[in-house]
């Protein structure tokens, strides 16, 4: 699954570690999400979406038929 986490995070001027701290995961988890190596739980996707200032999960996570 592709995400918009990296550009949205950079737009807000926060590091991977800062985002991780805000949503309660490790920096490695944020890195894995940004590099499409990990699919988050719905709850984590929701927390990341809200933390990045978006209203819809689809604004951050790009779902494809084969995901």
CA angle 32–58–16, rounded 5-degree value: 30
pLDDT digits (tens, 9 = 90+) for 2-49: 999 999 999 999 999 999 999 999 999 999 999 999 999 999 999 999
Residue 47 Cα to chain centre, angstroms = 8
pTM of the model: 0.92
Confidence of residue 50 (pLDDT cuts 50, 70, 90): very high
- φ/ψ of residue 11, rounded to 5: -60, -35
Confidence of residue 1 (pLDDT cuts 50, 70, 90): confident
Among the four given CATH numbers 1.10.260.40, 3.40.50.10090, 3.90.1150.10, 1.10.3720.10, the one describing domain 2-59 = 1.10.260.40
Give the domain ranges of the chain.
2-59
């Amino acid at each position: 699954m592709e995400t918009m986490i990296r550009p949205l995070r950079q737009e807000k001027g926060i590091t991977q570690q800062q985002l991780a701290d805000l949503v309660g995961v490790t920096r490695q988890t944020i890195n894995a999400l940004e590099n499409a190596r990990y699919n988050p739980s719905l709850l984590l996707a929701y927390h990341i979406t809200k933390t990045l200032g978006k209203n819809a999960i689809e604004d951050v996570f790009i779902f494809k038929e084969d995901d």
